Amino acid sequence: MLNSKLIFIIAFIAVLTGLYGVADKLLSTPESVTKPVKDDGIAETFTLWQAKVPLLQGNHLTLADLKRVQLGRDASLALGINADVELKLDPQTLLNSSVEEGQYLFPEQLSHPGEAGYLNLITHEGMTLYPLTVATNNMIQDYILPGDEIDIMTVSSPQHNLANDISRIDDFIGIRASLLMKKVRVISIAEPDADSQTGKITPSVKSSDKALTRIVIEVHPEDLPRLTLAQRTMHIEVFHSQDYNAKSEADVSDVIKNYTGVVELRGASENTVGGIF
């Protein structure tokens, strides 16, 4: 009898011990498993840009030429980079140094309009830049832009200097319009004035009170004497380059059919008279 009670007590204690173990396992909160991290927190990566193909100095640069790359902190620091590389790209961005395929690109390798050396990058070898002052009365706003090719038209007179004011001419003898140069590349053009109140660019055709605009063109050095002389003696206008089926010059008789010039000789003096007959 005593043995039976002892066995029952031992069995009861064993059952309680087992139940306690099961309950403890069920009720306990599992410990979260964490990955080891560095002392400075989550591993960092930085954005860099690689050239997909070889790029030459003076080339225009776009995102299509580049590949986005993510580098870890250690690899970035080895290149001297401790932040994302941001490239300011626009249609006129140029490379100021050549880049090999796979080479990383940095902001200091890019040049933008207005920065020192930018004009030298866009000037072709053997060419030079010339600032040309032209009449704006026939220029349509935003029709001629940097990179376009233009034809330079001049109106000249053997009697008058037409460089500054063509509106006061009342003697048409010898006046001729002709093409001075064709297919000249525009490097830059003066920005039109913005309306002071609205900030909008007006008008579409530039007004007569802003009669002149300065553009920078690319020419052969041997063209400089002609341009310099033309700018100081002739009325100059520019137009988009095009092909001409007829002669690209005219005088007054071509537009006023009954116009002629008459030269009268009176004694030793020579007088020139022009008019409409």
pLDDT tens for the 277 residues of the chain, in order? 546 666 667 766 766 666 666 555 555 544 433 344 445 556 689 999 999 999 999 888 888 999 999 999 888 888 888 899 999 888 888 999 999 999 999 999 999 888 888 888 888 889 999 999 888 877 777 788 888 999 999 998 888 888 876 666 777 788 889 999 999 999 888 754 444 444 333 333 343 446 788 899 999 999 999 999 999 999 999 999 988 887 788 887 777 777 765 544 455 444 444 443 3
User: Dihedral of CA 244/246/249/254: which sign?
Assistant: negative
Report the relative pairing of strands 212-219 and 128-135 from DSSP bridges. Answer: antiparallel
Which residue's entry shows tokens 């626009």? Answer: 90
pLDDT at 157: 87
Asked: is 45-111 a CATH 3.90.1210 domain? The reply is yes
pLDDT at 273: 45
According to DSSP, the residues that pair with 269 across neighbouring strands are 266
Q: Where are the domains of the chain?
A: 45-111, 126-254
pLDDT at 158: 86
Contacts of 78 (CB under 8 A, 6+ apart): none
